Amino acid sequence: MTDGKAEWRLAQAMQNADPFGGVVYSSGVSLDLTASEEDLADVFVDLLQREGRLLRRGITCDLKDSGQDCLHCPVATLDETYSRAVLCRLGKDQSTVEKAVEAKRAARQETVRDLAVLADEMSEIGDMPDDLIELLTQVSP
């Protein structure tokens, strides 16, 4: 596919009991969509190491280096006749994994915020010990 969009493929159904439980990214990285933040971080490190190997071969992108999100890059290409296509694929995958980690963190923080609100409500009617309220209201960034 050469229209500039990421080539997504579902993981082989026979390799996973849930055929929609994983994705094989355009760079060949396979990822379980229910992966933990730690597993996602490991995948991201692998993608960064691959990018480092491309850098050593002289394959770089000024837009990516200046902060351009590869998912929305106006000059990204997946056309393999261009040497930067591999970097474009990696950049798109990096951005997708990074967004997945951010979503998991936001969901976790939302749960903590919900508990904090509940703790505030419960403390008003005197149903919770002070030490538990203090623990629940400490939301980490």
Report the chain (141 residues): mean pLDDT per 10 consecutive residues.
41 47 62 79 90 94 92 87 89 87 83 75 65 67 49
Q: Is residue 131 part of a domain?
A: no
Q: Is residue 78 part of a domain?
A: yes
Q: Name every residue whose Cβ is closer than 8 Å to that of residue 4 and which is 6 or more positions away in sequence.
A: 76, 77, 78
Q: Is residue 82 part of a domain?
A: yes
pLDDT of res. 71: 86
Q: Is residue 49 part of a domain?
A: yes
Q: Return the biggest CA–CA distance within the chain.
A: 68
Which residue range forms the structural domain that includes residue 43?
Answer: 9-101
pLDDT of res. 6: 40
Q: Is residue 33 part of a domain?
A: yes
Number of helices (H), then strands (E), in the chain = 4, 3
Q: Is residue 71 part of a domain?
A: yes
Q: Is residue 130 part of a domain?
A: no
pLDDT of res. 17: 54
pLDDT of res. 9: 42
pLDDT of res. 14: 42
The structural domain count of the chain equals 1
pLDDT of res. 10: 39
What CA–CA distance (Å, rounded) separates 93 from 88?
Answer: 9
pLDDT of res. 53: 94
pLDDT of res. 125: 58
Q: Is residue 1 part of a domain?
A: no
Could you give the count of Cα atoms lying within 13 Å of 43 in the half-sphere of its Cβ? 27
